[in-house]
Amino acid sequence: MRTSRRKFLAVTAAAAASAVAPIGASPRPSPAPADIRRLTSPGFLDLQVNGFAGVDFNDPATTVDDLQRALGVLRAHGVTRLLPTLITSSAERFGQCASILLQAKADAIAGIHMEGPYISPEDGPRGAHPREHCAPASIDDFKRRQDSAAGRIRLVTLAPEVPGALPLTEYLRANGVRVAIGHTGATAEVIRDAVKAGATLSTHLGNGCANIIPRHPNFIWEQLAADELMASLIVDGHHLPPSTVKAMVRAKTPRRTILVTDAIAAAGQPPGDYQLAGVRVRLDETGRVAVPGAPNLAGSALAMDRAVANTVRFAGVPLEDALAMASTNPSTYLGIQPSGTLHLEWDADTFTLRVAAVA
Ligand SMILES: [Zn+2]
């Protein structure tokens, strides 16, 4: 660190305040050019995006033009590929939303992440997913949804304790669809069974669960310790405390960590009320998104460039490691190539990452 301790403390405080600032907040004054490091990175691949820039991917009324506009704003934040994420809903609504995503014919869309409906119906692990559409896992139901998505579902998040989840996990693995554990209240034993059946990812580890759980064993420790599982984390400063991010990255190692935003339509927008799959959610001035009056978070207003910068600050990893968590790690996980090259500017004093150009 080049700066004096006093200056360091000052900028750390400023960065702490800015880490959770809504996207689109007034930019800070540009630092002197000598403080800026310029570098390139493969484009970001976000495995979990429910919407962005006022557009809800989970709304059947969304148009292809809306979608293209959201993809353009995501690209400006470095996301050149993504898995639009469709959360728990009826098969009919899922099919309607999937068909809009497919009509976009955008290279940026690397497939669909189906998060639910085979998740815990319990308050807490269910999060903001509508209870009435939470359902036991069923190969037949999945096949119907996969047909309606023209075979583009690449990732399924499920709770392994839900009836039918383990046979479905085996079926998905055999058919090249990745399986993630999430929105779960499973015992540690059932987590191990899910890994044996073919689960390979923990979805937003540490979120989508009850507030109070047994200290140990529990499903968080079991997933942290399972080297077969990669883990996705939402590093917005709201979903996980900085010390939890640091401990999780160290337990999983940077190579097994994937950054996701879990962004919803409120991302890139001013504070106010937005929709997530027909549920009203509120973005407050601190950048937190929740159902009004409910304790659960409901997705995020995070952009991936900010997630990378936060990860450097919270976990103390080199910038290159955090960039890999947003680009090559998720690409390798899906078995595809990253797309495009990002030209980046990094200010290590203020933990600010700027996407200068996307080629
Ligand atoms: Zn979730």
153-167 burial: b if 16+ Cβ within 10 Å, else e: bbbbbbbbbbebbbe
Count CB atoms within 10 A of the CB of residue 143.
12
Catalytic residues: 262
97 CA → ligand 1 middle, Å: 17
221 CA → ligand 1 middle, Å: 19
Are 261 and 300 within 8 A, CB to CB?
yes
How much is the average pLDDT of 69-81? 98
pTM of the shown model: 0.90
> Residue 5 above 60 pLDDT?
no
pLDDT of res. 16:
40
303 CA → ligand 1 middle, Å: 16
Per-residue pLDDT reduced to its tens digit, 157-180: 999 999 999 999 999 999 999 999
Give domain status of residue 77, yes or no: yes
Per-residue pLDDT reduced to its tens digit, 206-215: 999 999 999 9
Are 101 and 84 within 8 A, CB to CB?
yes
Domain that holds residue 148: 44-339
Give which of 354, 245, 351 is closest to 304, Cα–Cα: 354
- The chain-wide mean pLDDT, for the chain, equals 92
Assign 60 to helix, strand or coil. coil
Q: Give me the CATH number covering residue 170.
A: 3.20.20.140
Give domain status of residue 205, yes or no: yes
Amino acid at 3: T
Give domain status of residue 5, yes or no: no
Per-residue pLDDT reduced to its tens digit, 264-274: 999 999 999 99
Total domains, the chain: 1
Give domain status of residue 3, yes or no: no
Give domain status of residue 356, yes or no: no
